[in-house]
Structure 1
């Protein structure tokens, strides 16, 4: 089955199509915001915690930069998406098992490097799965419905994050070992993957891309990106929002302990994440539907400004209660942004002949910015060494700048760009 903007209805339910995003959202929230900070602290100690959490995010960003365009181009050549999801899922699960074994049986730097190996497998598998999978929305969904589908995806991602926070909180309160949480992550990744694979089914058929497109090198893929300016500006603005997110996300648990003075920072962090996610669920579907009527950019202007201002206000929060309220406001902005984000990117695809390759590049825009965790982690440790909590002022301030730049530059993205159908990029 070939895709076409002329289709009146997509052949797949938005909930089945986006189910795997629910699983990956659950997966990454628990891994990056709960397990990694706590595990790294266990391995390397207090003084180097920010630096080594940053190292892991840097590793993830490097893999996200390389894998998606290559795997996406290969997927275009075969005209299939789901086989890549299955194989990537398997590697992802092996990586989770390696990380769990490292935490349960090893200590010190030797344990940390085994943990890094598992994290590498997780990153490889997840990127291998999600790059071709990302092509399904532009491939199967007509442009007029992409806001609704993007909203459903945003809501499922938020719901996955919410359940991830709840699951991590329950495991923490019950004092269960980290192995239980790793196992839960694996289960919650597999079940939505099965839903998506069964829901997409025979719709996972696209005409194989022309050889010149499907066999393009990574350099040629990036050249195609820069040659098509609507997609370039969408990529740049999406990357800026992701840079803002990853500037603070890995360090929220430390913020709860050092700035908000919480006795149980793991649990407090999970409550804060839950507040963000519940609010984002409330705004996700609404934002997507509004964008189908008034356009994508007005929603992003409001959402991005809300995120930028709130990031700064976190620095002035006098206590956990106020910070929790700010988390709700931030979540409203974040949910509205994610509901529109995917639709804007899908509208700006350069060509229907290279959806997976180009969505692989698009995938880089919101995964590769994890690299900011490396320098931000080092900056956090350096700033806190100079003056109490100065590191947090620097990190949150930089996040606000990234959000603001994303809002300013998104005006360069033309509305309702639907791509140059059937022409190689």
Structure 2
């Protein structure tokens, strides 16, 4: 998407935001200056590490807008791949639902893998009166909303695959700049609370999205439209009330296609910590979503609930959410107070693996409930700490969005690729084969994090 795709009618919000924020920080020299300034001229890593700032004024406003913005994006990822898309595929082609879902998901996953780092590179180089992030937040959500309407109207597998691919591309052009706001504007010493609440929003979205998706089981098209409207409102509010300063006069780094293609290769020798952080997240998320992304079909066929499975997907989501929320809060607070990230990531990954053992050993609805509790707690704790760890191992401050876009492949790709991975496993080993694969990948992800050297 070119820079011209930015909405021309977005109001010049930076001046209004600065005027509104001015009374809030008259005597707070330790607080960051206007957040957009921090974005354009980031302090050296050591200086940001030494800062001790209070989350108030513009920083508090940013936090209060980031949380619902993240929620609106992750509720979409939680509702569609795990509930709405499988239900729609089942309605279109019930005889080959596993294969058809794998096909649709694979096409979308490939698009997501390319789109997010490309979106990050484009966002890093965007020059506009609204800065480099806000235009993509608004434009991406509007285009993504239209593509969701296209999914609602699809009545064939090919149409559905095309519409889902367009949704993936549009919302990845949102997710890359949205992720870059944390290292752009937030000092390291305050990133724990931002990551904890951002993780809370993403986990509530991912798990609560399953509940929301199940509530639209009889009205799938209406569910897509509701998700589109929610994301458009929340992301536009973030852009309006936390607008970037104009960066029209800032020099733009030339785009090098060869260098961009090289970003898909994360060198374990040049950037070992970046590599291990990426690998750890990729393994854990793949293990988690390879199982939970198949919850609907697991309940239908592995547990044997048949048509009653949809209601139990919502129940699993609520149970998991009840375990996830306290884990996120505890993980973020403990991480900031201890100043340690790796041990918490390791413990949470091990908990996810332990939870997946339960229904593998005893296939029953009760076991699925227990899995939701243990896995929900582990995954919540992981989410509260992982994003902070990622921001501390990025290779370059000049390409935050691009690098986070690559890193975010490790989170977004498993969510949309899970039906593909699961389809292969189910075809070869049956539904029971999902659990040992998820357990093994989660444990490997836990051990990968311990290879990181620059973060405690």
Sort the TM-score into its range (normalised by shorter chain).
0.7 to 0.9
- Within 2, Cα distance between the matches of 1:260 and 1:223? 40
Change (3 A) 1:44 1:72: same
59, 65, 69: which is aligned to 1:20?
A: 69
37, 47, 53: which is aligned to 2:86?
A: 37
Q: Deviations over 1:369-395 (max 9, x none)?
A: 343532431321333xxxxxxx12211
Please say if residues 303 and 336 of structure 1, whose CA atoms lie closer than 8 Å, have aligned partners that are also in contact: yes
178, 181, 192: which is aligned to 1:136?
A: 181
C-alpha deviation, 1:222, in angstroms: 3.4
Change (3 A) 1:146 1:374: same
375, 400, 419: which is aligned to 1:355?
A: 400
- Which residue in 1 is equivalent to 2:134? 82
Residue ranges of structure 1 left out of the alignment (5+ in a row): 384-390, 418-425
Please say if residues 73 and 216 of structure 1, whose CA atoms lie closer than 8 Å, have aligned partners that are also in contact: no
Change (3 A) 1:144 1:30: same
Three-state SS of the structure 1 residue aligned to 2:394 is coil
Change (3 A) 1:244 1:318: closer
1:193 aligns with 2:235: yes
Change (3 A) 1:163 1:248: closer
Normalization by structure 1: what TM-score?
Answer: 0.87
Change (3 A) 1:206 1:64: farther
Structure scoring higher RCO (CA < 8 A, sep ≥ 6) equals 1
C-alpha deviation, 1:249, in angstroms: 2.8
1:307 aligns with 2:352: yes
- Which residue in 2 is equivalent to 1:152? 197
1:101-116 alignment, distance < 5 Å: 101-102=153-154, 106=155, 111-116=156-161
C-alpha deviation, 1:298, in angstroms: 1.3
255, 270, 273: which is aligned to 2:314?
A: 270
- Within 2, Cα distance between the matches of 1:262 and 1:399? 22
- Which residue in 2 is equivalent to 1:230? 273
How many residue pairs get matched?
A: 399
1:396-415 alignment, distance < 5 Å: 396-415=435-454
C-alpha deviation, 1:396, in angstroms: 1.5
1:395 aligns with 2:434: yes
Instruction: Please identify, of 34-43 and 194-203, the stretch whose mean Cα deviation from structure 2 is larger.
Output: 194-203
Of Structure 1 and Structure 2, the greater helix share is in: 1
- Within 1, Cα distance between the matches of 2:320 and 2:246? 34
Q: Deviations over 1:309-335 (max 9, x none)?
A: 111212123521332122111100010
1:285-296 alignment, distance < 5 Å: 285-294=329-338, 295-296=340-341
Q: Deviations over 1:308-362 (max 9, x none)?
A: 1111212123521332122111100010001111101011111111111111111
C-alpha deviation, 1:194, in angstroms: 2.6
- Within 1, Cα distance between the matches of 2:107 and 2:141? 19
Change (3 A) 1:68 1:166: closer
Normalization by structure 2: what TM-score?
Answer: 0.81
Change (3 A) 1:96 1:296: same
- Within 2, Cα distance between the matches of 1:96 and 1:323? 31
- Within 2, Cα distance between the matches of 1:57 and 1:290? 37
Three-state SS of the structure 2 residue aligned to 1:134 is helix
